[in-house]
Structure 1
Amino acid sequence: MSLISVTKLTFGYDGSYDNIFENVSFQIDTDWKLGFTGRNGRGKTTFLNLLLGKHEYSGTIAAKVNFEYFPFPVTNPENNTIDVIENINPDCLPWQVMRELSLLQVAEDVVYRPFATLANGEQTKVLLATLFLKENSFLLIDEPTNHLDREARKAVSDYLQSKRGFILVSHDRAFLDNCVDHILAINKTNIEIQKGTFSSWWANKKQQDSFELAENEKLRQDIARLSSAAKRTSDWSDKVEKTKMGTRNSGLRPDRGYIGHKAEKMMKRSKAIEARQQAAVADKGKLLKNIESSERLKISQLGFHADRFIELENVAVFYGDKTACKSVSFTIEQGDRLALCGKNGSGKSSLIKLICGEDITYTGTFRKASQLKIAYVSQDTSYLSGSLTDYAREHAIEESLFKAILRKLDFSRVQFAKDMAAFSGGQKKKVLIAKSLCEKAHLHIWDEPLNFIDVVSRLQIEELLLAYAPTILFVEHDTEFCKNIATKIVEL
């Protein structure tokens, strides 16, 4: 066991308005299984790169271990997998590799196939096994679940549960709960570490948020009451002070000393109330700093002339001589939230392409309601570039609504001025989701929409879909999301 000590860490990118980290200090035990969470753009990948020494920073990061980053870049993917493994970790023995791959439920013959021919899940498992065999290394595992199907996620999560000594960036709640024993969270104003799972950290955070909101409301009422009391006392003091002069026609001579003393006491009381008010305002300013913005989103669902949108009966889809899927039957009716599930390669994306109107070879019966308007979110975000304003104009969506949705999904106004090519993977995915929500559509089709999306935004999107009940067909491997959202599940 050793410690990774971060002391007074400060870092910001050149040309950035704000530092990502400001005078941050904490310690990590190298035996921990550490889940790393925080909203998109908060600096999770940046922190991993700082540990790897990729950026200059002020402060210190002290560690007695080597850091290894996942996913590791494979320079010669055309080579056999065993050669790729030996290139990454020359010291590992073949029997050790086979043992680790067996734990990850990977067939032995995989090592004799070119790495480029392996499925995404197989590549992920091979690289994880290879890196965990490196001695005296602390692994920095950056979003391994993206593009993994449910079975592969379970296998990788179980494997990590048996290991120790890593930081794991993931937004999959069930995945994290199964394999971490501490949480490192980047909040709005600080970094915190808690022992436990993601769910225990999230429960604690909601409890703290509720406490701060209640305290905030109490202080707000106190400030209003004290402000009113200070004004009344000040008004009384002014009135009493005026009586020192008496009135011309009254014939009375007021006791100016007594009245002045009384006015002074009232003024002191007013000042004391004002001081308490300022203290309450200062206390109020300390609250709500880490409460995440989670405003409800709104979408406009188009009405449609028919209840049934899509019907497939005994459909098989082909690519050349290859069968992508077969014997598929289901319907999508107005109000359905249908989850299309199955292993990678089972034909989910092929069926989506067929429904979206691409030229796909198929047999069986496929019917789509006439004039059905579809809003589509693809897996790929790499093509996004240019300004958000131009993107909204190009797709004929209302720019103000588009940016309002992005604001609610934690985009800062500074982000609006940037080129989309510079966005993080999660921010790019949010652009596609916001576009879909702005489109006047009867049916939303989302293909793995939550890749790279942070947990708070996932919960926000769940709330939206449950509140406004749009008709949606989606492919998503986040088991919690599917359990909470789907009204129908189709297994391929």
Structure 2
Amino acid sequence: MSKILIQDMSFYYEPCYVPVFERVNLVLDTDWRLGLVGRNGRGKTTFLKLLEGEREPVQGKIAKSVTMEYYPYRYETAYKKTMDVLKEIIGGFKSMEDAMERLLLRPGKEAMERCADIREEYGEAGGYQLEVRIHRELFRMGLPEELLDRDFEVLSGGEKTKMLMLALFLRPNAFVLLDEPTNHLDIRGKQDIARYLKQKKGFLAVSHDRQFLDEVTDHILAINKTDITLEKGNYSAWRENTDKKEAFERRTKARLEKEIEILEKNAVVRRNWAGIAEKEKNPYKTNNRGNSSRAAKFMRQAKTAEQEIRDAAAVKKELLKNYETVPPLCIFNKEGAGREEGRPVLQLDKLTFGYGGMPLFRSFSLDISAGDRLWVKGSNGCGKSTLLKLIKGEPETKARKAEEDTVIAFSYQEPLWQEGCLRDWISDPGQWERFLFLCSCLDIPEEMRKRPLQTYSSGEKRKVDVARALSQESALLLLDEPLNYMDIYFREQLEKAILECRPTLVFVEHDERFGTRVATRTIDLDQAAGIPGRADGAERTAGKKSR
């Protein structure tokens, strides 16, 4: 067990010089299972990069005696077999094994001595026990051992995610920094990662998944508006304390603001009164030294009293420094779109579609009616995003039937806008006004909207993409994993907006809590497509309603 010491750390990005962190002081234990939370744009990923050492504080320092390992990990290796890839990522063990084999084939004393040196280094680093440790971690992660003999590149996205994560935990003296580790994972994948992390210690996880944080963390680090706080317990314990603080601030906000207004008015009145009173005492100018001395003394007393009033006002303002304002979102449905609940909106009739000769859907039928909120579920790779694109008409298919004037808004898994300024992308004045309103609701301030999209965080880009889709006056809204990278406040905003505005909606999401609360119908593509084998049966499952 050791400590990570953060002393007077400050950081800002050039050239804007907007402070991200100012004089942060923290002591973190490397045995903790930390969760890092905060609204999008508050600097969570930047905080990880500072811990890792990729970025340096502008002021202050970070002292650590552990190796910081950042996830998602970008690997580069010529090896193909999964076991070899893992060995190389963990510590270059496969390269050492290959070097020893080559040296053993070369004659001469020099080659034998070099081989002996590598063998000693290999043994001291734990190379002879490494395969046993890999098998043990594989079991903990719930992965089959036969994956180790496969080509790493043919593994599924979820399998690669798990392999890379366990490799980082196998590195010596490692403290693992997990940046959104459950993004793009299906429900089962999230459960596997959570079960694995519950058996580990010594990591910091950035996540907005409330259930995930509850399961895996024992401390919560929160980046607030003006400071960073650390609390013992899981997410629910932290949220309960935060809710109590915010409830107190909500109850006292009006009173404090009234008191601040009165104090500031009193300061002005006191100053004016002091000037008038002295003038009444000395209506005529005089060079009398005593009168001048008394006037100066009287004004000093007035200024002192004014400063005391201002100090009291400043103290009261401090009580509101972390008060979070989360205005309600609005979904702009097309006029009349929600009035005729049950009216047909779009139909897929016996759709067959796939890639490279492998069918994703076979004789798949689906009816979408006004007022439906369809939750599309299924494992990674089963065709969820493809189904949303087919509903949108990308690509065209004869099985798709919709009215010509059916306006469909689509928020993509990867944000549609990646560069340029926001104003460049919307030409319609009405949509621009609606878009700006939604940006203000989503904590994207006016000064930020003038910056190029390249400077936005992943969460901020996602917010912009959701605002783009919600600002369209649509008859059907499609959301592809809208909660990826998104903070907890956004999740609650979107959930409330859907329940109140009741759009006709089809969405893909792996957050069970969110899906269960907002969906009126559920489609499980694994069952609908007959997994394993992906055969027929879709028509039977897709039309089932569960209101």
TM-score band by shorter chain is: 0.7 to 0.9
Q: Is the 8 A contact 2:271 2:306 kept in 1?
A: no
Q: Distance in 2 between matches of 1:445 and 1:379?
A: 11
Amino acid at match of 1:71: P
2:157 to 97, 120, 128: 120
The answer to whether the aligner puts 1:43 opposite 2:79 as a matched pair is: no
CA distance in 1, matches of 2:370, 2:411: 19
Q: 1:272 to 1:88 in 2, by over 3 A?
A: closer
Residues 1:235 and 1:387: Cα distance change in structure 2 (over 3 Å): closer
Q: Are 2:358 and 1:322 aligned?
A: yes
In 1, the alpha carbon distance for the partners of 2:280 and 2:71 equals: 80
| Match for residue 322 of structure 2 among 290, 295, 298 | 290
Distance verdict in 2 for CA 1:243–1:390, change over 3 Å? closer
Whole-angstrom distance in 2 between the partners of 1:234 and 1:9: 40
Is 1:18 the counterpart of 2:51? The answer is no
2:320 aligned counterpart, secondary structure: coil
For residues 109-151 of structure 1, what are the alpha-carbon distances to aligned partners after superposition, in whole Å with 9 as ceiling and x for unaligned? Answer: 2222222222111111001111111121100111111110000
Q: How far apart, in 1, do the equivalents of 2:275 and 2:327 lie? A: 46
State the distance in 2 between where 1:449 and 1:240 align.
64
Q: Which residue of 2 aligns with 1:464?
A: 497
- Cα distance in 2 for partners of 1:291, 1:328 equals 49
What CA distance in whole angstroms lies between the structure 2 residues aligned with 1:382 and 1:77? 33
1:172 aligns with 2:206: no
Counterpart for residue 359 of structure 1: 395
Partner of 1:206: 243
Q: What amino acid sits opposite 1:26 in the alignment?
A: L
1:421/1:236 CA distance change after superposition, 3 Å: closer
Q: Provide the rounded CA distance (Å) in 1 between the counterparts of 2:365 and 2:89.
A: 45
Q: Per-residue deviation at 1:62?
A: 1.1
Q: State the alpha-carbon separation in 1 of the partners of residues 464 and 274 from structure 2.
A: 59
Residue 181, structure 1, aligned to residue 218, structure 2: yes
Q: CA deviation at 1:197?
A: 1.1
State the secondary structure of the residue aligned to 1:380.
Answer: coil
Distance 1:228 1:387, change over 3 A: closer
2:436 maps to 1:403: yes
SS state of the match for residue 15, structure 1? coil
3-state SS in 1 of match to 2:426: helix
| CA distance, structure 1, for counterparts of residue 419 and residue 452 of structure 2 | 6
**In structure 2, C-alpha distance between the alignment counterparts of 1:228 and 1:10, rounded to whole Å:** 36
Match of 1:417? 450
Please state if 1:449 is matched with 2:482: yes
What per-residue deviation string (whole Å, max 9, x for no partner) do you get for residues 243-278 of structure 1?
Answer: 99xxxxxxxxxxxxxxxxxxxxxx9x9999977864
- The answer for the alignment partner of 1:345 in structure 2 is 381
Assess if the C-alpha contact under 8 Å between 1:316 and 1:326 holds in 2: yes
Mean CA deviation greater in 235-244 or 167-176:
235-244
Equivalent residue number for residue 263 of structure 1: none
Choose from 500, 507, 519 the match for 1:474: 507
Q: Where does the alignment leave 5 or more consecutive residues of structure 2 unmatched?
A: 94-126, 282-298, 526-547
What CA deviation, in whole Å up to 9, does each residue of 1:416-448 have, x standing for no partner? 222212321111111110100111110110111
Partner AA of 2:457 in structure 1 = S
Q: RMSD value over aligned CA atoms?
A: 3.1
- Give distance in 1, aligned partners of 2:485 and 2:416: 13
Match of 1:61 in 2: 62
Can you list the C-alpha shifts for 1:275-322, whole angstroms capped at 9, x where unaligned?
Answer: 786455223311221122311122321124961213346544322421
Equivalent position to 2:230, from 193, 198, 211: 193
Tell me the distance in 2 between the aligned counterparts of 1:88 and 1:226.
62
Report if aligned partners of 1:310, 1:368 keep a CA contact under 8 Å in 2. Answer: yes
Match of residue 101 from structure 1: 138
2:464 matched residue in structure 1: 431
Q: Quote the Cα distance in structure 2 between the aligned partners of 1:36 and 1:279.
A: 34
Q: Distance in 1 between matches of 2:78 and 2:505?
A: 37
Distance 1:123-1:397 versus aligned 2 partners, 3 A rule = farther
User: Which amino acid in structure 2 is aligned with residue 72 of structure 1?
Assistant: Y
**Helix, strand or coil at the partner of 2:360:** strand
CA distance in 1, matches of 2:262, 2:84: 74
Please report how far the alpha carbon of residue 453 of structure 1 lies from its aligned counterpart in structure 2 after TM superposition: 1.1
CA offsets 1:65-113 (integer angstroms, 9 cap, x no match): 1111111112148722222111111246222212212221222222222
Query: What is aligned with 1:149?
Result: 186
* Equivalent residue letter for 2:433: S
How many residues are aligned here?
468
**Partner residue in 1 for 2:516:** 483
Question: Could you say which residue in structure 1 is the equivalent of 2:86?
Answer: 85
User: In 2, are the aligned partners of 1:405 and 1:434 still within 8 Å (CA)?
Assistant: yes
- 1:378 pairs with 2:415: no
8 Å CA contact 1:37–1:183 kept in 2: the answer is yes
Match of 2:473 among 440, 443, 447: 440
The residue matched to 2:18 in structure 1 has which SS?
coil
Query: Larger deviation: 29-38 or 87-96?
Result: 87-96
- Please give the TM-score of this superposition, normalised by the length of structure 2: 0.78
Q: Does 1:161 align with 2:194?
A: no
Superimposed CA distance per residue, residues 125-182 of structure 1 (whole angstroms, 9 cap, x where no aligned partner): 0011111111211001111111100000001011001110000011111111111111
Matched position secondary structure for 2:447: helix
Aligned to 1:73: 74
Q: d(CA) in 1 for partners of 2:156 and 2:316? A: 53
1:477, CA displacement in angstroms?
0.6
2:245 and 2:55 mapped to 1: Cα distance?
34
Uncovered stretches (5+) of structure 1, i.e. residues with no partner:
245-266
The match for 2:543 is none
Paired-residue identity, %: 39
Q: Distance in 2 between matches of 1:132 and 1:371?
A: 53
Partner in structure 1 of residue 4 of structure 2: 4
Q: 1:280 to 1:359 in 2, by over 3 A?
A: same
